[in-house]
């Protein structure tokens, strides 16, 4: 199956593109790790599949509206 055919099939079944779905899953997993662990941000980034801490922080902020460190502090206050 070609990449474009797979992407069309995936979107028809899931309702989102494969990359958006993967990014959402990674950020959801990162939110859990940030709330439930004291792992450094770089380790959280690596565990959810980011090679670059900076790329993780940009994606996290784009999807949640907060940088990961600020999200962790806010989650700890709850």
CATH superfamily assigned to domain 25-78:
Homeodomain-like (1.10.10.60)
Alpha carbon distance 7, 18 (integer Å): 6
For residue 78, what pLDDT is reported?
52
Q: How many CB atoms lie within 10 A of CB 27?
A: 20
pLDDT tens-place string over residues 22-73: 999 999 999 999 999 999 999 999 999 999 999 999 999 999 999 999 999 9
The tokens describing 54, both together, are 């900076």
- The residues spanned by each domain of the chain are 25-78
For 41, residues 6+ apart whose C-beta sits below 8 A from its C-beta are 53, 56, 57, 68, 69
The tokens describing 5, both together, are 């055919």
Which candidate, 42, 15, 14, 48, places its Cα nearest to that of 29? Answer: 48
């Amino acid at each position: 199956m070609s990449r474009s055919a797979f992407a069309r099939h995936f979107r028809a079944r899931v309702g989102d593109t494969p990359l958006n779905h993967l990014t959402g899953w990674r950020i959801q997993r990162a939110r859990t790790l940030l709330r439930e662990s004291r792992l450094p941000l770089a380790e959280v980034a690596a565990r959810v599949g980011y090679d670059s801490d900076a790329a993780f922080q940009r994606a996290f902020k784009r999807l949640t509206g907060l940088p990961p460190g600020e999200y962790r502090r806010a989650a700890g206050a709850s």
